[in-house]
């Protein structure tokens, strides 16, 4: 590994960088290393992907969308 890798940075700086890279746990569909996975999981505890309308929607990040879909079937009656 090179001396300029992210592993040499302090943990606070790494968490800021990873918060920009993985804004939601739903977007993390791959495993890089154990430390990064723990950091992203700790930042996005409330995020949970739900499969609706042929796509995954995060229940925490898209609260307005989830509220709309919750009352969507009631609106037609």
The pLDDT assigned to 54 comes to 85
Q: How confident is the model at residue 53 (pLDDT cuts 50, 70, 90)?
A: confident
Burial grade of 40 (CB within 10 A; 0-12, 13-18, 19 or more) = buried
pTM, to two decimals: 0.53
pLDDT digits (tens, 9 = 90+) for 6-35: 778 888 888 888 777 777 766 666 667 777
Contact 47, 25 (CB under 8 A): yes
Tell me how far apart the alpha carbons of residues 22 and 49 are, in angstroms, rounded to a whole number.
Answer: 14
Helical ranges in 1-77 per DSSP H: 11-21, 34-43, 63-72
């Amino acid at each position: 590994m090179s001396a300029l890798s992210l592993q040499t940075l302090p943990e606070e700086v790494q968490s800021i960088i990873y918060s920009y890279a993985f804004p939601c746990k739903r977007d993390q569909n791959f495993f890089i290393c154990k430390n990064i996975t723990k950091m992203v999981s700790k930042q996005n505890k409330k995020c949970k992907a739900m499969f609706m309308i042929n796509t995954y929607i995060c229940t925490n990040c898209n609260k307005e969308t989830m509220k709309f879909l919750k009352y969507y079937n009631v609106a037609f009656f």
